[in-house]
Amino acid sequence: MSIDKLLELVTQYKEAAHLIETAQAEQETIKAQIKAELAERNTNDLQVGCHKIKLSDFTSTRLDSKAIKAVAPALFAQYSKVITGQRLTIN
């Protein structure tokens, strides 16, 4: 592959990465608007056309790798962190 072709691929890659970043930012804005509308309607479930919107809470336990590496693998439960958040699902 020539240097010019490789440069073209790198340019395309960077442009695609920028498009993805822009699209993800737009998606987060739209997600926040949908969550705000659900909150305004005081609901976590809504049917919109053929789409079902559901906002659900979830809990996740994640490994605190710095602490576990410093102590021992057997102490995993002692150093687990519980994370709580929300998940938005649109089908």
Query: For every one of its 91 residues, what pLDDT tens digit does the chain have, with 9 covering 90 and above?
Result: 999 998 999 899 999 999 999 999 999 999 999 999 999 999 999 999 999 999 999 999 887 888 887 888 778 778 778 889 988 777 6
pTM of the predicted model, to two decimals?
0.67
Q: Are 83 and 58 in contact (CB under 8 A)?
A: no
* Tokens encoding 85: 């958040």
Q: Are 6 and 59 in contact (CB under 8 A)?
A: no
Residues 6 or more apart whose CB falls under 8 angstroms from that of 62 comprise: 80, 81, 83
Gap between the Cα atoms of 52 and 44, Å rounded? 10
